[in-house]
Homo-oligomer: A and B are copies of this chain.
Amino acid sequence: MCAAQAEVAGSPGAGRVRGSSGSLGSERPQAEAMVLCRVPRWSVGLWASPGWWRTTCTLRALVQPKRGPGCPGGASGLLACSMFSKVSSCTPEVMLTQERYPVQRLPFSVVSEEDLAAFERIVPGRVVTDPEELEVSNVDWLRTARGCSKVLLRPRTSEEVSRILRYCHERNLAVNPQGGNTGLVGGSVPVFDEIILSTALMNQVTSFNSVSGILTCQAGCVLEGLSRYVQERDFVMPLDLGAKGSCHIGGNVATNAGGLRFLRYGSLHGTVLGLEVVLADGTVLDCLTSLRKDNTGYDLKQLFIGSEGTLGVITAVSILCPPRPKAVNVAFLGCPGFAEVLQTFSTCRGMLGEILSAFEFMDAECMQLVQQHLHLASPVQESAFYLLVETSGSSTGHDAEKLGCFLEQVLGSGLVTDGTDGTVATDESKAQALWALRERITEALSGDGYVYKYDVSLPVERLYDLVTDLRARLGSQARHVVGYGHLGDGNLHLNVTVDAFSAALLDTMEPYVYAWTAGQRGSISAEHGLGFRKRDALRYSKPPPAVRLMQQLKALLDPKGILNPYKLLPTQA
């Protein structure tokens, strides 16, 4: 109906800060990871906080790079790992992944001058070999993983991606697909010298249907740009992340991003209607339909949603956008205990029903840290737990009335400890102030010391028991053991702060946290994925037959294993 052809990329400085999830989780990356030269688009508001910035700098560990044994220098000095010494002095070096972790390079070919010439023929002028330019794509956002790729390719079309992969497949060259590089598990950067295949120039909107709300676009469109694009047409993207100013829709789909609208609009497995994917051998798999219903054969696109670039490279996406809500309200509440949190959630679902769009929780220790390190004031009296409830609907009056009835109910029944006027926000700035209490927890934690982080899914009624148990287990070894997250999604962010990193303390927590989660049939990675760092913990959430089938699927779709190697699947024995 309303076809469009527009370029959609993020604009620096346009980022909105909201306490986020998806490929970035609802936690912001640890403060220690930040560096001056690499402020991502989505974090402008936050990183401006001067007190926190100072903390960041003192905490940062500077590690000198070394030339790793698995990082082939090849024939050309230009391509060798020593390139990192040329990087601007304002960027501290990050230890090579191959040095930090026990990982062996697989026997892929090494990129040669002939390969570079071949790539130049496929994507003329878009073959990047300059070490400084490569630095940004070799290091992950958290600055805890670093590859030593010698070449980055910037295709503009699926056909170019197909030709690149066909070539790499024949030459046995490993490839690291990369979107906005905002992942938290080391999945978006090379481990060794994999060729980086960036979707950054694949940023065209192909079509938007203003009757059905179905958007079709290339994989490199930045989420924030898409969001603006559809909002101008009175729709919203079904997902929203803190990383929206940088992350690519293709990366969102590849990592099955959750995000702030998950409670309301559900998983990408439901909202993504079609995908175009280039397979490891260069075959273009066109499942890019824009249909809500299609029962013709196996739903192949589902295989690639959440496959973290290991089964194919997503080059285009078709996604269903819901109508834009006309009214948004936020309430901030205190609860005397976790049982009351759960009862409030049940009441909320029943009374707010279709307009409920977020149900977030944080514990008292989170609030203490937010008050102590960020000097934010709690709008409600001191409580064991705090809740942030958001509604989004099509009628300001109706939504306010529903929220009012809900508040009357929970206050009257003693589920909620405080109901002053200050707890409800109907205007945007007040709503943002309430959201800040929940969203800036990570920042407050970073100000408290070194932070160990876990992101788990649990049956909602056991969600907080893990925090209590770990707190008891660690005793005085930890400064704080805190729990917060998307209660409505059963997603807990468990964080432990200490004076400084300790391997012994890590051993006290791992695999304890994973085993505890497995004991509840939970997920050891709710929304961050496995990437490089968590791949060996997969067995805590999936039984051996499932892991075996995953390995078989990988072997079927990528028999040479060239796509994003060392990621998602556990190290083979």
Check A295 for interface membership: any CB of B closer than 8 A.
yes
Closest to A311 in B: B298
* Residues of B close to A543: CB separation below 8 A: 285-286
Give this chain's copy count: 2
Q: Are B293 and A490 in contact (CB under 8 A)?
A: yes
Check A269 for interface membership: any CB of B closer than 8 A.
yes
How many angstroms between the C-alpha atoms of A291 and B267 in the bound complex?
A: 12
A409 to chain B, nearest CB (A): 13
Would you list which residues of chain A between 97 and 127 have a CB under 8 Å from chain B? none
* Residues of B close to A569: CB separation below 8 A: 297
Check A129 for interface membership: any CB of B closer than 8 A.
no
Q: Are A323 and B350 in contact (CB under 8 A)?
A: yes
Q: Are A523 and B256 in contact (CB under 8 A)?
A: no
* Residues of B close to A336: CB separation below 8 A: none
A141 to chain B, nearest CB (A): 17
Q: Are B295 and A525 in contact (CB under 8 A)?
A: yes
Q: Are B299 and A269 in contact (CB under 8 A)?
A: yes
* Residues of B close to A523: CB separation below 8 A: 289, 291, 293-296
- Spot the interface stretch: A79-87, A341-349, A417-425, A446-454: A341-349
How many angstroms between the C-alpha atoms of A457 and B274 in the bound complex?
A: 14
A192 to chain B, nearest CB (A): 22
A208 to chain B, nearest CB (A): 12
How many angstroms between the C-alpha atoms of A523 and B288 in the bound complex?
A: 12
Check A527 for interface membership: any CB of B closer than 8 A.
yes
Check A467 for interface membership: any CB of B closer than 8 A.
no
* Residues of B close to A212: CB separation below 8 A: 459-460, 490
A290 to chain B, nearest CB (A): 6
Query: Given A1-B461, A302-B269, A553-B556, A294 and B401 touching (CB < 8 A)?
Result: no
Q: Are A461 and B395 in contact (CB under 8 A)?
A: no
Contact with B along A279-290 (1 / 0, CB 8 A): 100011111011
How many angstroms between the C-alpha atoms of A419 and B568 in the bound complex?
A: 57
Query: Given A461-B1, A546-B285, A293 and B346 touching (CB < 8 A)?
Result: no
Would you list which residues of chain A between 440 and 498 have a CB under 8 Å from chain B? 457-461, 486, 489-491
- Pick from B266, B284, B350, B568: contact of A270, CB under 8 Å: B266
Contact with B along A243-269 (1 / 0, CB 8 A): 000000000000110100010001101
Check A206 for interface membership: any CB of B closer than 8 A.
no
Which of A290, A293, A300 has the most chain B CB atoms inside 10 A of its CB?
A293
Which of A290, A294, A549, A569 has the most chain B CB atoms inside 10 A of its CB?
A294
How many angstroms between the C-alpha atoms of A542 and B297 in the bound complex?
A: 8
Contact with B along A319-331 (1 / 0, CB 8 A): 0000101100000
How many angstroms between the C-alpha atoms of A201 and B292 in the bound complex?
A: 33
How many angstroms between the C-alpha atoms of A542 and B291 in the bound complex?
A: 13
Check A528 for interface membership: any CB of B closer than 8 A.
yes
Contact with B along A374-409 (1 / 0, CB 8 A): 000000000000000000011100100110000000
Check A562 for interface membership: any CB of B closer than 8 A.
no
Check A415 for interface membership: any CB of B closer than 8 A.
no
Contact with B along A510-538 (1 / 0, CB 8 A): 00000000000111111111100010011
- Spot the interface stretch: A143-151, A351-359, A362-370, A430-438: A351-359
Check A504 for interface membership: any CB of B closer than 8 A.
no
Q: Are B490 and A285 in contact (CB under 8 A)?
A: no
Check A541 for interface membership: any CB of B closer than 8 A.
yes
Q: Are A209 and B293 in contact (CB under 8 A)?
A: no
* Residues of B close to A285: CB separation below 8 A: 543, 545-546, 549
Query: Given A295-B530, A300-B550, A393 and B521 touching (CB < 8 A)?
Result: no
Contact with B along A212-232 (1 / 0, CB 8 A): 110000000000000000000
Check A211 for interface membership: any CB of B closer than 8 A.
yes
A337 to chain B, nearest CB (A): 15
Q: Are B457 and A526 in contact (CB under 8 A)?
A: no
* Residues of B close to A267: CB separation below 8 A: 270, 292-293
How many angstroms between the C-alpha atoms of A21 and B363 in the bound complex?
A: 45
Q: Are B306 and A295 in contact (CB under 8 A)?
A: yes
Q: Are A306 and B300 in contact (CB under 8 A)?
A: no
* Residues of B close to A213: CB separation below 8 A: 349
Q: Are A393 and B262 in contact (CB under 8 A)?
A: no
Check A371 for interface membership: any CB of B closer than 8 A.
no
- Pick from B1, B526, B550: contact of A298, CB under 8 Å: B550
Check A172 for interface membership: any CB of B closer than 8 A.
no
How many angstroms between the C-alpha atoms of A521 and B258 in the bound complex?
A: 29
* Residues of B close to A306: CB separation below 8 A: 295, 298-299
A268 to chain B, nearest CB (A): 9
Check A11 for interface membership: any CB of B closer than 8 A.
no
Given contacts A294-B525, A297-B546, 11 further A-B contacts (CB under 8 A): A269-B270, A269-B302, A292-B490, A293-B486, A293-B526, A296-B530, A298-B311, A325-B353, A326-B353, A394-B402, A395-B398
Counting from the closest, the 9 A-B pairs by CB-CB distance are A270-B270, A353-B394, A302-B302, A294-B523, A296-B541, A354-B354, A293-B526, A398-B398, A291-B457
| 25 residue pairs from A and B, CB less than 8 Å apart | A262-B292, A266-B270, A285-B543, A289-B523, A292-B457, A293-B491, A293-B526, A293-B527, A294-B457, A294-B523, A294-B526, A296-B534, A296-B537, A297-B530, A297-B541, A297-B542, A298-B307, A299-B305, A300-B546, A300-B549, A302-B302, A302-B305, A354-B354, A394-B402, A398-B398
